[in-house]
């Protein structure tokens, strides 16, 4: 179907953007109203739950809205994560919430659903993201971005028909996404069960239990932060270690001179295991086969080759049993970390001969390989689903979802 030619209007022409509180002044100050913190708006465009407060408790210092208004998170990362919703079934029709909400109220020419879908479109999100103001971690979408964004304005009847078609297609899409996420969650559980089974002695097997300090050499670089360079030798930080892998994005670097002066406690070798002691705690990865320096929140674990295989060690550290013991040794409130003294005492279990350990590693990796392939397929399908969602909205606002 050819694109429809509809009148184009600024959002500020068809909506009140962040309406004032004038219409609330006549309400009794003891009137009970809904209260909505940012946490109660989901990332898939729904209100999870609502609290209740008296009007006098929230009329100052919070954002006001009423039934039918569209809420949009203005602050990063809530905006990018999709926190937006239509206010419905508010107590006494009135709501207040986080000051980090923008509010859009129809002047009558557009429906709430039409507004909601308009600000969910990729083109709006891209424009808003590019014009956010403020410092890193505190960037916000300015009011003017909403006021100046143009949307097509078909008749109310067409808006309702198109919105109904969007919801029909989204419902089918959500069903598929839910099924994919369910399978992915089950794969995660299976991954944990593989590790749980791997580190239990088989029938007629006897395993040792030993403090980790007795089976590895711990090379500790904590307490030292080198000066960084714009380029040079990669400097691995705890943030670069995730789920058994090294994340090479947002890498820091040090110069050759800094490396020589800094890496004096022992250079990484093949088969070493990187371990994060804080922020986050308990992530591991195999030492890469390149020249690199280490950050202050990491230690290097060098397995004693005659006692334990390095991959056997890595997978056991990832296991729930080890992670549970590790968290039990952790300290701190805002950030949980583990001291060298506490870490050294955590027990590792293992069969006496390393060939048996290698057999267990091979079995783990065989099963993980299947899980990884399935997760790759699921992630690709989820990505396609998100692309399809954007395509549905694009088609809707081009007039392709209306008879």
Q: Which pLDDT score is estimated for 364?
A: 97
CA angle 179–182–183, rounded 5-degree value: 90
Q: Which pLDDT score is estimated for 1?
A: 46
Whole-angstrom Cα distance, residue 295 to residue 298? 6
pLDDT of 377 over the 50 cut: yes
Contacts of 352 (CB under 8 A, 6+ apart): 206, 207, 208
Whole-angstrom Cα distance, residue 294 to residue 202? 38
Q: What's the per-residue H, E or C state across the chain?
A: CCCCCCEEEEHHHHEEECCCCHHHCCCCCCCEEEEECHHHECCCCCECCCEEEEHHHHCCCCEEEECCCEEEECECCCCCCCCEEECCCCHHHEEEECCCEEEEEECCCCCHHHHHHHCCCHHHHHHHHHCCECCCCCCECCHHHHHHCEEEECCHHHHHHHHHHHHHHHHHHHHHHHHHHHHHHHHHHHHHHHHHHHCCCCCCCCEEEEEHHHCEEEEECCCCCCCCECCCEEEECHHHEECEEECCCCCEEECHHHHHHHCCCCCCCCCCEEEEEECCEEEEEECCCCCCEECCCEEEEEECCCCCCHHHHHHHHHCHHHHHHHHHHCECCCCCECCHHHHHCCEEEEECCHHHHHHHHHHHHHHHHHHHHHHHHHHHHHHHHHHHHHHHHHHHCCCCCCC
The structure's pTM equals: 0.81
Q: For the chain, what percent of residues have pLDDT higher than 70? A: 99
**How far from chain centre, in Å, is Cα 222?**
27
pLDDT of 20 over the 60 cut: yes
pLDDT tens-place string over residues 205-238: 999 999 999 999 999 877 667 889 889 999 998 8
Band of the pLDDT at 3, cuts 50, 70, 90?
A: low
Q: Which pLDDT score is estimated for 135?
A: 86
Q: Is there a contact between 141 and 11 (Cβ–Cβ < 8 Å)?
A: no
Whole-angstrom Cα distance, residue 36 to residue 52? 8
Find out whether the peptide bond into 76 is cis, omega within 30 degrees of 0.
Answer: no
Give the mean model confidence (pLDDT) for residues 186-210.
94
Residue 178's region, left for phi above 0, alpha for psi from -120 to 50, else beta, is alpha
Q: How many residues does the chain have?
A: 403
Q: Which pLDDT score is estimated for 137?
A: 77
Rounded to the nearest integer, the mean pLDDT of the chain is 93
Q: Is there a contact between 299 and 317 (Cβ–Cβ < 8 Å)?
A: no
Give the mean model confidence (pLDDT) for residues 381-400.
95
Give the mean model confidence (pLDDT) for residues 310-338.
92
Whole-angstrom Cα distance, residue 105 to residue 109? 11
Q: Both tokens of residue 55?
A: 């009007």
pLDDT of 333 over the 50 cut: yes
| Least confident span in 27-31, 209-213, 259-263 | 259-263
Q: Both tokens of residue 99?
A: 């000051």
Q: Both tokens of residue 46?
A: 């729904």
pLDDT tens-place string over residues 84-109: 999 999 999 999 999 999 999 999 99
Give the mean model confidence (pLDDT) for residues 116-139.
94
Q: Which pLDDT score is estimated for 391?
A: 96
The domains located in the chain, with CATH, are 7-153 (3.90.220.20), 157-182+356-403 (no CATH), 207-351 (3.90.220.20)
Whole-angstrom Cα distance, residue 209 to residue 235? 34
């Amino acid at each position: 179907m050819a694109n429809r030619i509809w009148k184009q209007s600024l959002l500020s022409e068809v909506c009140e953007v962040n309406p004032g509180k004038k219409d609330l002044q006549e309400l009794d100050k003891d009137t009970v109203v809904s209260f909505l913190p940012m946490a109660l708006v989901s990332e898939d465009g729904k209100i999870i739950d609502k609290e209740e407060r008296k009007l006098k408790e929230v009329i100052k210092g919070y954002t006001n809205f009423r039934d039918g208004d569209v809420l949009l998170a203005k602050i990063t990362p809530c905006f990018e994560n999709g926190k937006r919703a239509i206010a419905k079934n508010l107590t006494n029709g009135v709501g207040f919430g986080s000051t980090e909400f923008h509010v859009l109220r129809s002047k009558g020419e557009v429906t709430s659903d039409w507004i909601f879908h308009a600000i969910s479109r990729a083109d709006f999100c891209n424009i808003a993201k590019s014009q956010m103001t403020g410092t890193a971690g505190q960037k916000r979408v300015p009011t003017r971005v909403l006021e100046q964004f143009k949307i097509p304005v078909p008749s109310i009847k067409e808006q309702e028909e198109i919105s109904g078609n969007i919801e029909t297609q989204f419902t089918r899409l959500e069903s598929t996404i839910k099924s994919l996420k369910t399978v992915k969650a089950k794969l995660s559980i299976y991954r944990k069960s593989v590790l749980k089974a791997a580190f239990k002695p088989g029938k007629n097997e006897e395993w040792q239990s030993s403090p980790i300090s007795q089976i590895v050499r711990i090379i500790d670089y904590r307490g030292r932060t080198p000066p960084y360079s714009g380029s040079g030798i990669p400097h691995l930080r705890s943030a670069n270690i995730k789920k058994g892998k090294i994340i090479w994005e947002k890498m820091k670097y040090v110069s050759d001179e800094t490396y020589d002066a800094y890496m004096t406690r022992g250079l990484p070798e093949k088969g070493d295991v990187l371990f994060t002691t804080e922020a986050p705690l308990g992530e591991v990865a195999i030492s890469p086969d390149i020249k690199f320096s280490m950050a202050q929140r990491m230690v290097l674990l060098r397995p004693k080759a005659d006692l334990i295989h390095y991959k056997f060690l890595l997978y056991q550290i990832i296991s729930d049993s080890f992670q549970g013991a590790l968290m039990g040794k952790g300290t701190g409130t805002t950030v949980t970390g583990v001291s060298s003294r506490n870490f050294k005492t955590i027990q590792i279990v293992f069969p006496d001969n390393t060939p048996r350990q290698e057999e267990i590693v091979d079995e783990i990796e065989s099963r993980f390989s299947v899980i990884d392939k399935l997760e790759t397929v699921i992630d690709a399908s989820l990505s396609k689903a998100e692309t399809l969602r954007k395509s549905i909205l694009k088609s809707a606002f081009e007039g392709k979802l209306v008879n």
